[in-house]
């Protein structure tokens, strides 16, 4: 996608990227590196990673406000949060953290745009054969989905109060450097181990669900499209779905990845590896609104995402 201009030509946009060390955050960071006139300040919870600032959004609202004051960004992109863990951890990083951030932005005394990363899990059980739209019922059934929806409600409320804020509800991201917390990332890890040991089989949990797999680079494109959208244009909807717009059986994705890796061994689906979406057998998002509002469309096929995932893993060997 081409470059987006947030303010006047020749003016630098200051952008604060929260969660810059995560799967989405790292790809947003890489995508922003190709944008001229954007000064990015990276923020992470951990102190042992390459970032400009260490900040735990859930730890102290005062610290969040002070960081916002010191960085003085034009745009904040929030890729921080937790996808797994105890309910208390999910609540802290997906709800308390967002509350602290929104409060700091509303009292910043200057206009700041917020791009917040949400999840399709906020819709809960999508009826099989249907695609969730932004106005679909929000009935999450997992702690992850509940805490993400609570965070989105905070952002939506802040937008109604005048904050320039948009939540992007992302489906199942896939692509280069997918972490082991994802099914595709775990599979790649198993396949690399099998290659190293010269034998073995692949074990997963049940593969009966359907997912809307979206390339992580397409997600990053959507984030940048919102973050650097010129001021003065018509306001965006407070929530936009970001996905591939294609419902793919998980077994089909697994089979394609195994074939790409040249794996001819056995596949067992009676093992562990359950993840947060097992309670959601069907996932499919309608991305019409994002296409129309942003001029954004996913550019990568599932096949190209898997190809690049596998070869990124080989490059790290």
| Bridge pairing between strands 267-268 and 202-203 | parallel
The phi and psi torsions of 270 (rounded to 5 degrees) equal: -110, 20
Count of other CB atoms within 10 angstroms of residue 223: 28
Pick the catalytic residue: 4, 144, 213, 296? 144
Residue 101 host element (H or E)? helix 97-106
Residue 153: exposed, middle, or buried by beta-carbon count in 10 A (0-12, 13-18, 19+)?
middle
230 CB contacts (<8 Å, ≥6 apart)? 4, 5, 6, 7
Residue 210 host element (H or E)? strand 210-211
| Bridge pairing between strands 248-249 and 53-54 | unpaired
Q: Is 123 a catalytic residue?
A: no
131 CB contacts (<8 Å, ≥6 apart)? 245, 247, 284, 285, 286
Q: How many CA atoms lie within 13 A of 181 on its CB side?
A: 11
142 within 8 A of 279, measured Cβ to Cβ: yes
Residue of 144, 187, 149 lying closest to 278 (CA atoms): 144
Residues annotated as part of the active site: 144
């Amino acid at each position: 996608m081409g470059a987006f201009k947030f303010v006047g030509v020749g003016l630098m946009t200051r952008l604060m990227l929260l969660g810059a060390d995560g799967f989405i955050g790292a790809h947003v960071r890489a995508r922003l590196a190709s944008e001229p006139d954007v000064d990015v300040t990276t923020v992470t919870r951990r102190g042992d990673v390459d970032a400009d600032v260490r900040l735990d959004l859930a730890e102290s609202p005062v610290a969040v406000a002070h960081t916002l004051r010191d960085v003085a960004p034009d745009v904040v992109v929030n890729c921080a949060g937790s996808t797994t863990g105890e309910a208390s951890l999910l609540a802290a990083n997906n709800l308390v953290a967002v509350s602290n951030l929104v409060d700091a932005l509303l009292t910043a005394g200057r206009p700041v745009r917020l791009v917040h990363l949400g999840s399709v899990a906020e819709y809960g059980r999508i009826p099989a054969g249907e695609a969730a739209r932004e106005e679909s019922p929000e009935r999450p059934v997992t702690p992850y989905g509940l805490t993400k929806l609570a965070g989105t409600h905070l952002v939506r409320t802040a937008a109604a109060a005048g904050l320039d804020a948009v939540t992007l509800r992302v489906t199942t991201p896939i692509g280069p450097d997918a972490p082991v917390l994802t099914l595709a990332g775990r599979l790649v890890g198993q396949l690399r181990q099998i290659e190293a040991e010269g034998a073995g089989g692949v074990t997963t949990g049940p593969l009966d669900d359907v997912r809307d797999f979206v390339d992580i680079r397409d997600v990053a494109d959507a984030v940048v499209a919102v973050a650097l959208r010129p001021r003065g244009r018509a306001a965006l909807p407070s929530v936009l779905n970001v996905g591939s717009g294609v419902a793919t059986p998980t077994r089909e994705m697994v089979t394609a990845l195994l074939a790409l890796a040249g794996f001819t061994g056995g596949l067992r689906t009676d093992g562990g590896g359950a993840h947060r979406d097992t309670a959601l057998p069907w996932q499919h998002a309608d991305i019409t609104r994002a296409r129309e509002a942003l001029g954004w469309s996913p550019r990568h096929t599932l096949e190209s995402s898997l190809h690049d995932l596998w070869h990124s893993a080989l490059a790290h060997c």
